Structure 1
Amino acid sequence: MRVRAAATTSSTELTELPAGVEVLIRCQKQGRRVEVPPYVNDWWAHLPLYGGCITNIHVRSPDDRLPDVPLC
């Protein structure tokens, strides 16, 4: 999964993380809608250790927006 500078796929890629890696999420915000069939999501998680965001599609959660994670 790609860590981006902002909550959009067109922003600078800061790094790439392997699938299944555990990450610390500080907050989340809505950004560009991402489609990875069959999933669609416009929520992004901010990763403070990497200084960027990943789409919530790559985070195991029952909903698009992560429960108990504050807004950025």
Structure 2
Amino acid sequence: MWPGPDTTQPPLTVLPAGVEVLVECQKQGESLSVPSCLNDWWAYLPQYGGYVTNIHLQSPGNQLPGVGVC
């Protein structure tokens, strides 16, 4: 989890796999990839004060459905 929607600064924290999070909004930022997936959308997690790439969130697409843009 990073302070902005990119990896240019050190991470704020590491969240354990499977943890449930509250997403306030999402915005486009740095493109990241994992095998068979490329995504530039990042979710803002208010309880942590930072962003996590949507690649690591369970979603049917690049953007999270029903979550507004920051």
Query: What TM-score comes out, normalization by structure 2 length?
Result: 0.95
Among 11, 14, 29, which residue is 2:12 paired with? Answer: 14
Gaps of 5+ in 1: none
User: Aligned partners of 1:27 and 1:56: how far apart in 2?
Assistant: 11
* Richer in strand (by share): 1
Gaps of 5+ in 2: none
Runs of 4+ in 1 over 6 A off after TM superposition: none
Q: Which amino acid aligns with 2:31?
A: R
Among 38, 48, 59, which residue is 2:36 paired with? Answer: 38
Number of residue pairs matched by the alignment: 70
User: Aligned partners of 2:49 and 2:24: how far apart in 1?
Assistant: 10
Give me the CA root mean square deviation. Answer: 0.7
Query: What TM-score comes out, normalization by structure 1 length?
Result: 0.93
